[in-house]
Chain A
Amino acid sequence: GAVVSQHPSRVICKSGTSVKIECRSLDFQATTMFWYRQFPKQSLMLMATSNEGSKATYEQGVEKDKFLINHASLTLSTLTVTSAHPEDSSFYICSATRTSRTDTQYFGPGTRLTVL
């Protein structure tokens, strides 16, 4: 159990367009979902934390108007990269937890975004 999926797995888009990435918990209800960004040969950096039905909490330095997060249900969170630029090209990974305290984060397989 505790499977998290992401869609799409890869996306290539033109500069200036918006891209939506979905994160789904397939066999459990996720109270909290997290979005990470990972540049090549680097570690995972937390971008934001989202709780179902409330606004996401963004980490310092992450533009909330550029990275729109919606956690509309207990099984789905979306990340929309608005007006994407080449520097936004990265590996975006989500994770989900069942409860809000000390629960294991289950990670999705990631989405590779390339902005031309």
Chain B
Amino acid sequence: GQQLNQSPQSMFIQEGEDVSMNCTSSSIFNTWLWYKQDPGEGPVLLIALYKAGELTSNGRLTAQFGITRKDSFLNISASIPSDVGIYFCAGQEYNTDKLIFGTGTRLQVFP
């Protein structure tokens, strides 16, 4: 099945550092979403983006919907240990409700 390219694949950072990850696609999406998944659980929505160029924040998280509608990034500022997990981007197709997920970024935060 189709997947979005997400980078980096994994990150090992120290508590307090900022994190940036991005997602690119060959297709245009009308909605970009960022999810966090903890081991053995379902993904939890962090941020939803609905317009090209949109920049949205949720606490220490900031995400942007690329102008071309083919990419998005997520920034986490001042990371803390509970930020550990796998982060997925997802693009939502306009003519269906389908979500196409990125390959994921595994984040590890060391104290």
Contact = CB atoms under 8 A, between A and B. Distances in A.
The answer to whether A and B come from one shared complex is yes
A102 B92 contact: yes
B97 A100 contact: yes
B53 interface: no
Contact of B101 (A44, A61, A112): A44
Given A43-B104, A44-B88, A46-B1, A105 B97 contact: yes
Contacts of A46: 1, 98-100
Given A32-B97, A43-B103, A93 B48 contact: no
Q: How large is the interface on A (under 10, 10 to 19, 20 to 34, 35 or more residues)?
A: 20 to 34
A112 B42 CA distance: 11
Given A34-B99, A43-B103, A106-B45, 11 more contacts: A6-B42, A34-B98, A45-B1, A49-B98, A60-B1, A95-B42, A102-B30, A102-B31, A102-B50, A104-B48, A109-B42
Interface of A: 4, 6, 32, 34, 42-46, 49, 59-61, 91, 93, 95, 97, 100-110, 112
